[in-house]
Amino acid sequence: MGGLASTYMMQGKWDKAENLGVKVMELRKEQLGKNHPEILVAISNLASTYMNQGRWEQAEILFKELLEACKTSCGTDHPHTLMVMGNLASCHQNQGRLQEAERLQEIVVERTKIKLGPSHPSTLTAMVNLASTYHKQGKWQQAEECLLHTIDEFRSKFGTDHPRTLTVMANLASAYNAQGKWQEAEKLKVEVLKARKEKLGDEHPDTLGSMSALAITYSNQGRWEEAVRLYLQVIETSKQRLGPDHAADTLETMANLAATYAKQGKLEETEKLETEVMEISKAMFGPEHPDTLFSIASLAVTYRDLGKLEEAEKLLVEVTEKRKLKFGMNHPDTLTGMANLAGTYHLQAKWEQAEKLFIQAIEGSKATFGAGHPRTLTMMANLASTYYEQGRLEESKKLEVQVVEERKAKLGVNHPDTLIGMSSLATTFIAQGLWDEAEDMLSKAVVMMEQVMGPEHPRTVQSTQKLERLRDAMEKEKRKLKKSSKFEDKFKKAIKKLF
């Protein structure tokens, strides 16, 4: 029965796996006793089934039970105990309880180092998991340092083209990507893709995953046609090889393609693809699975961009309420949903509702991630935009200055988010008539955008055009003042002649 439950898990038949897993666990408890090794395996399998269904509270309960049993039967520092502790940390990570996850993972890393050694594969795996939690918290430099260390160890232990080494390299590329180090990310992703093609073949799921990851970097660089070509290739190959409804991999790539269409302004194609993703996700995972809720939220944002504001609002209210009940108020997905709903209120000129929800989301983000986390800063920038649209320019400027300074400290002066924030702040300066300050800030932003993002990136082009318009306006104003000054001089001379 246990073997059949595992087969159901591998096939993604979670309901059948769960039903059988519960029976196996209860039967083994009766026959073998509470702390028998086979009982612990059954509990672990059932907890994993809950995890795959997004039922993290049930998974957490089982992992905690399993952890106590392992401590009793094996000891606090036994590898099995540490492995369960790592699984519990993963559960916390999915629940958005990132600080708890980090604390557990740091314990796992330290104890595994002592028990098995700093270069043992289990220690290195624990460090990779810790880096993942750093990444989710926006601690990208810490994630980068952690992954650089493990890459060297994996390369020396397994070789450069070993699957585990390539996975760590891919994770490091994601850390580079998040920091706006797109050239470094691209270089590493191309290397991983080439190795996987040679080692695993063009149609292996890991190879397709690498192609999709490279497409993300192309999309971030504004190289949308290249990104679209890669995404389409991945989707077609996945459908032919793995079936049109193959779990998260194909759906995630379809969602990423839809996001790239949106960046290109192809909103009808975006809506069509996101609707397809949502329907497949509902059929595969159920209407309240985290992936399904994510797909509904993405479609709602597209409705918003299409001007279908009432439809967008309805969907976002539905998703946000479900996330509150399922994950809690301060879960990352809940906070994202709140911010998107606030953005929809903004477009509807429902200023009070937008402001109230943005502030609520910001406070939740500060509690979950910290005041200087990129997500928190993005929400603050959106609130500043709401103030700007109401003509509350001083409040807008105050927030935008804070966002820019925090991003400089957290992400660096040359990070794309910092540069975008500088461009937005310059817009507020212009509205306040602070043209010299605006020109100074935009000039610096454009120079760095050209270096970091490239001269043809849409954000660079947009900011360059803004700077050109500002300089044209400043030149016209100077000419007016000059004419006015000349007229004033002539008038004074004429008055002197008369008197």
For 421-480, write each residue's pLDDT tens digit: 999 999 999 999 999 999 999 999 999 999 988 898 889 999 999 999 999 998 888 888
- How confident is the model at residue 15, as a pLDDT? 58
> How much is the pLDDT for 247?
59
SS3 string, the chain, reads: CHHHHHHHHHCCCHHHHHHHHHHHHHHHHHHHCCCCHHHHHHHHHHHHHHHHCCCHHHHHHHHHHHHHHHHHHCCCCCHHHHHHHHHHHHHHHHCCCHHHHHHHHHHHHHHHHHHHCCCCHHHHHHHHHHHHHHHHCCCHHHHHHHHHHHHHHHHHHHCCCCHHHHHHHHHHHHHHHHCCCHHHHHHHHHHHHHHHHHHHCCCCHHHHHHHHHHHHHHHHCCCHHHHHHHHHHHHHHHHHHHCCCCHHHHHHHHHHHHHHHHHCCCHHHHHHHHHHHHHHHHHHHCCCCHHHHHHHHHHHHHHHHCCCHHHHHHHHHHHHHHHHHHHCCCCHHHHHHHHHHHHHHHHCCCHHHHHHHHHHHHHHHHHHCCCCCHHHHHHHHHHHHHHHHCCCHHHHHHHHHHHHHHHHHHCCCCCHHHHHHHHHHHHHHHHCCCHHHHHHHHHHHHHHHHHHCCCCCHHHHHHHHHHHHHHHHHHHHHHHHHHHHHHHHHHHHHHHHHC
Instruction: Among 110-124, 230-244, 290-304, 366-380, name the one with the lowest average pLDDT.
Output: 230-244
Which tokens is 260 given?
């790239």
Residue 22 has pLDDT above 60, yes or no: no
In the chain, the domains with their CATH numbers are 161-265 (1.25.40.10), 401-498 (1.25.40.10)
Q: Which of these ranges, 27-31, 163-167, 323-327, 409-413, has the smallest mean pLDDT?
A: 27-31
Instruction: For 188-224, write each residue's pLDDT tens digit.
Output: 999 999 999 999 999 898 999 999 999 999 998 889 9
Across all residues in the chain, what is the average pLDDT? 87
Please state whether the predicted TM-score (pTM) of the whole model is above 0.85. Answer: no
Q: What integer is the mean pLDDT of 488-499?
A: 46
35 within 8 A of 67, measured Cβ to Cβ: no
Mean per-residue pLDDT, 353-360: 97
In this predicted model, what pLDDT tens digit does every residue of 23-72 receive, in sequence order?
655 565 555 555 556 667 777 777 887 887 778 888 899 889 888 988 88
- Spatial separation of the C-alpha atoms in residues 46 and 382, rounded to whole Å: 42
pLDDT-based confidence at 268, cuts 50/70/90?
Answer: very high
Q: Report whether pLDDT(7) > 70.
A: no
- pLDDT for 337: 95
Between residues 338 and 250, which one has the greater pLDDT? 338
pLDDT the model gives residue 248: 67
Query: Of the ranges 39-43, 106-110, 174-178, which one carries the lowest mean pLDDT score?
Result: 39-43
Residue 491: predicted pLDDT: 42
- Give yes or no for residue 483 having a pLDDT over 90: no
pLDDT tops 60 at residue 86: yes
The pLDDT tens digits of the residues spanning 364-412 come to 999 988 898 889 999 999 999 999 999 999 999 999 999 999 999 988 8
pLDDT above 90 for 8: no
The pLDDT of residue 29 is: 57
- For residues 44 and 438, give the distance between their C-alpha atoms in angstroms, rounded to a whole number: 58
Q: What are the φ/ψ torsions at residue 422 (nearest 5 degrees)?
A: -65, -40
Residue 313 has pLDDT above 90, yes or no: yes
pLDDT > 60? residue 497: no
Residue 156's Cβ-count burial label (10 Å; 0-12, 13-18, 19+) is exposed
Per-residue pLDDT at 495 exceeds 50:
no
